Amino acid sequence: MLKRIAPILATGAAAAVGLIAIPAANASAVTYSNVVNNCYGEYYNTDWNQDCDSPGATDDGYYYTTAVCDYQSDKSMTVYRGYYSTAEVDGTDCTFDVDTGYTVFWD
């Protein structure tokens, strides 16, 4: 009888330990979305932004960037940019952790 109970207890203990594990945030490492007309999403721990490298946006129009948030609804923003815009626009922070999203453009 002990032989049958021991594996069950071991399995139960392993499952209990798994419930305690918390996924680690990506600390201060930065990741980037795809680049569209020199503009992209930039993602940190819970913070994310839409940015364009110098010399700025290569086309004027709307830039839509998403952020994938852990344990909550994803975030997004649409920014109208003129030619050569290099403004960094701050997105609404995620509460726990943000993962890389994507950027699209339309005029």
- pLDDT of residue 107 exceeding 80, the answer is yes
pLDDT tens readout for residues 37-61: 999 999 999 999 999 999 999 999 9
What is the model's pLDDT at position 69? 97
Distances (CA, A) of 25 to 16, 41, 67, 74, 75: 22, 18, 15, 16, 17
What is the model's pLDDT at position 82? 98
Q: Which amino acid type is present at position 17?
A: V
> Distance between CA 14 and CA 7 in Å, rounded?
10
What is the model's pLDDT at position 21? 44
